[in-house]
Amino acid sequence: MNFHQFINIIFWRKKIALLVLIVLVSSTALISFFLPKQYIATASIVIDQRTVDPLTGMALPIQLLPGYIATQVDIISSHNVARKVVEKLKLADNPQLQ
């Protein structure tokens, strides 16, 4: 079967092809209309790898830096931090965000 034969088949079966197209487009539109909306947020963080602890002012050994950064990532991504941000910014009271 070459391309010309394929076009001829589609041309002679255009009613079936249009019906399939309409069913697919309408079912996709209905599904996307009735499914709940999902929004995904992403953020980029620039990590400045200084060897000085910002709280104590003391120098950190280079060997402890990966563990220190992993701890900071765990703190930032924790559920408690996210809940405090929602409370301080009063995001739960905003009807647009609900």
- Sorted by where each begins, the domain ranges of the chain are 1-37, 39-98
Q: Which of 18-22, 51-55, 64-68, 74-78 has the highest mean pLDDT?
A: 18-22
Q: How far apart are CA 65 and CA 52, in angstroms?
A: 10
Query: Does the pLDDT of residue 22 top 90, yes or no?
Result: yes
pLDDT, averaged across the chain: 81
Please give the Cα distance from 46 to 37 (Å, whole number).
30
Using CA atoms, how far apart are residues 75 and 98, in angstroms rounded to an integer? 25
Is the pLDDT at 82 greater than 70? The verdict is: yes
